Structure 1
């Protein structure tokens, strides 16, 4: 499944919404080293299912794929909320990464290359357009093992790499992303109060594990902080879903203690520890 050195046509499948599925066996071109004429040739292998959802090469960057927008001039200044979801539960063999930025989504080829540079293989991917929303979904495995990503450090690097690509190819997204404060061209106008934004809930999910919900203000290194806090009190993290919605991180973790669900006392300890540390954002941004 490793990506090679040329871009091949995609394989299509029919769906209730206009979408296409591709199996990636190729390495994307280097950013900014491909001419528009050549890029149109690379896209010639794509056939689309519905004319009302037309996919095209986006001017936002080399290798960008998007969908036409039917927005009026009145909507031109509206910036949608960027969303990056990392799903560890839905597929037993791959880590699923889903990206959405309204109908402005682009730079897919460069995103694939950035993921490959992290030692990952994009086994397959789908782009789905429904109404004014374009969603891209990547199925990712590790190049060295062929298995899904389990390392929290790599999961956080995946998240930050995709957000960095968003900031690069869609600089307007910086005003809707927490990372825009440090890395974007325009900092978010709305600043979240961490105390108000932080919500933590633990509930049973069967006799052997509990489901931990965390909602808090996003920042670089957040996932690693959360994992460290959980493991420091000897709680095991079995799986995770990391959802970045603009300025907010909404994460879910399946956790257990010695092979069983957390009791009420341990749940309270975990909640108190997380609330204390998440309200003290001291992450070293330069380390990521």
Structure 2
């Protein structure tokens, strides 16, 4: 999923203060100086069924109560496909692209589109395609207030959690496949990911004016907002990117720069070390005693 953000001149429209919305506790291992501003949108919170601890402030649209699985019945099979939600800010200049995949189990996702509209968004285009991994549902989304793509990390995270909540609501079998299942799903994941093993970070040059940052980590609510905050906290601007939720994992790709230029090697190392320290399990050095 791609996400466009900006802190010193980036596309995310960072402001000098972050408006905290509703504290959303975090789930398991998994989901910057606050420069974001969130347009006033009427959002309703999902109350996690379990108590979690999260540093992210996230509001998500509550799915309407479901009595039937969207698009028909949810056949139970031994192999439950991995749910994938991608938020892409790179492939379209005018809209945020959202892609949802869950094998061949997804229906028309009409309730999901309605939930996105409740966040103050317009679904301007939708299409479905099939390949070997199943049915892919793609939406082009803009903000109703401006007609432009979403550029606030908080709202992008709200979109992500709204979609995942609806996925769990209409396909409860996906709950055990998603990190969010521990937060507001009926069935939490059977096994938790080891955050130390799951965390991978790499920075590569992407031309003279920007670098490409890859982050893979255990997912949890608020992870997208926290990652952008960590990056901008060290004065690195986030231009755009993609944020993928793949089962228990989150995979992010961010285009970043420092004062309009690609990151130099020492700054790449600072960025990687900062994110690694933030994402991995805290440790205490024996020598500190």
- Check if 1:128 corresponds to 2:144: no
Look up the match of 1:220.
221
Name structure 1 gaps, 5 residues minimum.
1-29, 34-58, 282-288
Larger radius of gyration: 1
Of Structure 1 and Structure 2, the greater helix share is in 1
Name structure 2 gaps, 5 residues minimum.
1-62, 283-289
Q: Distance in 2 between matches of 1:280 and 1:146?
A: 41
CA-to-aligned-CA distance 1:18-75 (integer Å, 9 cap, x gap) = xxxxxxxxxxxx9569xxxxxxxxxxxxxxxxxxxxxxxxx943xx337x99x9xxx8
Look up the match of 2:230.
229
- SS of the counterpart of 1:104? coil
In 1, are the aligned partners of 2:84 and 2:102 still within 8 Å (CA)? yes
In 1, are the aligned partners of 2:196 and 2:281 still within 8 Å (CA)? no
Deviation at 1:128, TM superposition (A): 1.4
In 2, are the aligned partners of 1:106 and 1:169 still within 8 Å (CA)? no
Find runs of 4+ consecutive structure 1 residues off by over 4 angstroms: 30-33
Deviation at 1:212, TM superposition (A): 0.2
Q: Distance in 2 between matches of 1:269 and 1:32?
A: 46
Of Structure 1 and Structure 2, the greater strand share is in 1
How many residues matched? 220
- Check if 1:163 corresponds to 2:169: no
Q: Distance in 2 between matches of 1:183 and 1:150?
A: 26
- Check if 1:243 corresponds to 2:283: no
TM-score by length of 1: 0.72
Distance 1:106 1:277, change over 3 A: same
Higher relative contact order (CA 8 A, sep 6+): 2
CA-to-aligned-CA distance 1:182-235 (integer Å, 9 cap, x gap) = 211111112101011000000000000000000000000000110000000000
- SS of the counterpart of 2:87? strand
